Structure 1
């Protein structure tokens, strides 16, 4: 009597890591790798192919786009996030976005296989090495959502984070420098930030710096690196 295997997809931007995951998972008699992708957009639509688990190798930078990606992948199957889980990648964020499990990229082969097999059966898996971190995150008080920024405030924040001065922003937006200064003061008060580096972080978290050129300029302007 044959046992039906779980259908697995691997989403990982680095080809060598992607192939390594395929080799590891294909060695299990309980799993069958049916799809490989460098980007979530390359996966077949949910209607085209049933997936039991999507092993998502998350990039080091997160923010709103991270949660949106996990949420979108969850439409196609149960998501297991494999990430560095540095300061930018809270375990709770992955779970709230719909993930069924979290494993560090430093996990050994046995741990990863156990995680995939658990999630394939509908279970929730948090790697032992992340348990203390999860407990700590859950004990933190819930943050109050920051007040929404107006459209022109968001634009001013985006330009400020790329390294432009108030005068340059004023010329770009067709405003007076005094008006730009007023916008920046409002933004600081709404987001409760006081320095340029924190404003840059907020711009990235709000998804305002999606373009790589803007990200590079912002990092140079503030001395802040999202991958740090």
Structure 2
């Protein structure tokens, strides 16, 4: 018999780890060599032992210390030959996009049946990606909404204000820089929050970064 596939499971819920281990117990060519409650433990293990022997990491998203997104990114940068499968209740399009851009090999829901988990594992071990139909639908819906959403355009003055907000200028400093009153800048700030459908200044900063209004 050839050497079994070496796997790691990372999840902060012991019941989930026990469930996956129980399923894999019946797979003679798969061996779970480590279980961890967060990504930091996995990364430490790989750094100490080297990642050459590990074939697949199954990971959740929400974990303390280092979540699944950060773990996948670190693994792909440091040990690109290791394959990764996310198994999570989280079905957020932005998170899925971040993971796929960081070369995750698969993503299924924790609500998936036992057989789909095994199918995902086998598909990935054979060198092919696996994303459940539900995850594919979430991505497709997000793409459709992005295409149909009205494009928001900012005036040159609004862009100037949001750039300075993102650079952590105070209201008075922005007013001085643009030769406007403090009251006018406060009005711009409230208008931008409403126009961009964000909740606070952090949301405005995120918008500025995502739309490359600042370096």
**TM over 0.5: same fold?**
yes
Aligned to 1:211: none
Greater Cα radius of gyration, structure 1 or 2 = 2
Q: Distance in 1 between matches of 2:63 and 2:41?
A: 20
SS in structure 1 of the partner of residue 203 of structure 2: helix
Q: Distance in 1 between matches of 2:60 and 2:174?
A: 40
Is 1:115 matched up with 2:120?
A: yes
Q: How many residues align?
A: 172
CA RMSD of aligned residues (A): 3.8
Q: Distance in 2 between matches of 1:115 and 1:201?
A: 38
Per the normalisation by structure 2, the TM-score is: 0.63
Question: Which structure has more RCO (C-alpha within 8 Å, separation ≥ 6)?
Answer: 1
How far the C-alpha of 1:196 sits from its partner, in A, is: 9.4
Q: Distance in 2 between matches of 1:203 and 1:26?
A: 49
Per the normalisation by structure 1, the TM-score is: 0.60
CA gap 1:67/1:198 in 2 versus in 1, 3 angstroms: farther
How far the C-alpha of 1:69 sits from its partner, in A, is: 3.0
Is 1:14 matched up with 2:48?
A: no
Q: Distance in 2 between matches of 1:15 and 1:204?
A: 38
SS in structure 2 of the partner of residue 94 of structure 1: helix
Aligned to 2:166: 149
Contact 1:54 1:73 in 2 (8 A): no
How far the C-alpha of 1:30 sits from its partner, in A, is: 2.8
Contact 1:6 1:31 in 2 (8 A): yes
Gaps of 5+ in 2: 153-161, 176-181, 208-215
